[in-house]
Amino acid sequence: MIILGFESSCDETGVALVELRDGARPRLLAEALHSQAAMHADYGGVVPELASRDHIRRVLPLTRQVLARAGIALAQVDLVAYTRGPGLAGALLVGAGVAVALAAALDRPALGVHHLEGHLLSPFLGAEVPQFPFVALLVSGGHTQLMDVRAVGDYRLLGETIDDAAGEAFDKSAKLLGLGYPGGPALARLAAFGDPEAYALPRPLLHQPNLDFSFAGLKTAVMTQVRKRGTNVCEQSRADLAASTQAAIVDVLVAKSVKALEASGTRRLVVAGGVGANRLLRERLDAAAARCGATVHYPPLELCTDNGAMIAIAAALRVRQGIAKPQRDGAFDVRPRWPLAELSSAGDRA
Ligand code: KG4
Ligand code: ZN
C-alpha cells in the first residue's frame, strides 16, 4: 500500500509518500516540507489567515516534488491521508480539501488522521520499530501528554499539562530572552553556553504523585528574572537563564515519564512531538531509562516536528489494523478541537 500524506494543521505544509507492505518495515519513500516560521516571525506567533493562504500556495508544488523524488505516479497511490485535527480550522481545511479532492479524482479512498496520533506513531518510521505496549510522551507546541499505548488506536491518557505545553514554555521563555519565534531550538542552542544551575527556577508538580504537568509558572519566573536584570543583561546571564529554563522543563518531563513507566508497568517509552528533538531531553531520558531497565524510542530527528510522513504512517497503521473507515464519498470535515482520547477503535468519523 502506498499512502500520500498531507499535514497542514499549523505553520508547516508537509507532504510525504509512505509504503507499507505485509511483513516489511514501513518505508518513507519521499517527503517535502515548507515551514512558515520566517513568515510568522514578524508577528511573534502564528497568524491563522496567513497560515491558510500559504498552505494553499505550497501544497501542490510540494506534492509534485514528493512524487518526483519517489519516482511514483499519482495513479500508484492507494490511499490519501490528511490531518483532520486538532489545529487551525482554516489551515486544516486546505490539507483536507486537497486530499479529498485528489482522492476523488483518483478514485481512491481518503482518511482523516488525528495530528497527535501522527506524532505518536512517527517512531514506526525509525530504524527500530517500537513494540506495543508502550508509554508515549507527546511533547509539542500545543500538547504535553503521557499516554498508555496498548495498540494502534488504543490510547489511555495518563496525565497532561494543566496549562502551557512544554513547547509553549520553550517558546514563551525564548521570546522573553529576545530569541524570536519559534524559540525552542534557539533557546536550546543558547543554553549550550549557560549554567543550568545559575537560576533556581520552579519545577511545578514535580513531586506530586499524579502525572500532570504545569509550565505557566515557569514562564512567569523567567519573566521576573528578565525584568530584574533589565535590557542590558549580559550574554552569559542570558545563556545561564536559557540553560536553567531548559533544565527545569527537562527535569519535569523526565521525572514524570519515569513515573508513567512505573504506573503502566511497561518498559518502553516513545517520545514524539517537536520538543522530542531537544538534545538534553534525549540524553536525560536515555540515562533515566537505562537506570530503570527501560528503552526509549524516538522518531528520526527530522520527523519530530510536524510533517506529512507521520500522517501517512498513522493512516496506514489504522487501515492495516482494520480500525479505520476511509471515505470514498468526497465529503470531509475537520476537527480543530479533538481530544486524542476520543479516538476510539470504533472508527474515524465519530
Ligand atoms: O510538534 P511540533 O512541530 O508542532 C506542534 O504540533 O505543536 O512542535 C513544535 C514545538 C515548538 O514549541 C518548538 O519550539 C519545539 O517544538 N521544539 C523544540 C526543539 N525543536 C522544536 N523545543 C526544544 N528544543 C528543541 N530542539
Ligand atoms: Zn505537531
3-state SS assignment for residue 33:
strand
pLDDT at 231: 65
CA of 231 to the centre of ligand 2 (A): 33
3-state SS assignment for residue 31:
strand
Instruction: Tell whether ligand 1 has an atom less than 6 A from the beta carbon of residue 11.
Output: no
Instruction: Tell whether ligand 1 has an atom less than 6 A from the beta carbon of residue 83.
Output: no
The predicted model scores a pTM of 0.93
Does the 2-121+304-349 domain belong in CATH 3.90.1640.10? Answer: no
In the chain, where the domains are located: 2-121+304-349, 132-298
Q: Residue 9 corresponds to which cell in the numbers above?
A: 494543521
Paired sense of beta strands 2-7 and 79-85, if any: parallel
pLDDT at 198: 97
**Residue type for 333, please?**
D
Instruction: Tell whether ligand 1 has an atom less than 6 A from the beta carbon of residue 278.
Output: yes
Paired sense of beta strands 110-114 and 134-139, if any: unpaired
pLDDT in single tens digits along all 350 residues of the chain: 999 999 999 999 999 999 999 988 899 999 999 999 999 988 888 999 999 999 999 999 999 999 999 999 999 999 999 999 999 999 999 999 999 999 999 999 999 999 999 999 999 999 888 999 999 999 999 899 999 999 999 999 999 999 999 999 999 999 999 998 889 999 999 999 999 999 999 998 998 989 999 999 999 999 999 998 876 778 999 999 999 999 999 999 999 999 999 999 999 999 999 999 999 999 999 999 999 999 999 999 999 999 999 999 999 999 999 999 899 999 999 999 998 878 854 444 44
What is the CATH number that goes with domain 132-298? 3.30.420.40
Q: Residue 90 corresponds to which cell in the numbers above?
A: 482554516
pLDDT at 176: 93
Counting ligand 1 atoms within 8 A of each CB, the residue from 117, 137, 170 with the most, and so the one to mutate, is: 170
Backbone angles phi, psi at 31, to 5 degrees: -150, 155
Nearest atom, ligand 1, residue 174 CA: 14
Instruction: Tell whether ligand 1 has an atom less than 6 A from the beta carbon of residue 182.
Output: yes
Nearest atom, ligand 1, residue 9 CA: 6
Whether 2-121+304-349 and 132-298 share one fold: the answer is yes
pLDDT at 350: 40
**114, β-bridge pairs:** 85
CA-nearest of 125, 140, 144, 126 to 315 is: 125
pLDDT at 238: 94
Query: What CA–CA distance (Å, rounded) separates 42 from 246?
Result: 24
3-state SS assignment for residue 144:
strand
Q: Residue 217 corresponds to which cell in the numbers above?
A: 509558572
Question: How many beta carbons lie within 10 A of that of residue 42, not counting itself?
Answer: 9
Instruction: Tell whether ligand 1 has an atom less than 6 A from the beta carbon of residue 167.
Output: yes
Question: For residue 143, which ligand has an atom nearest its CA?
Answer: 1
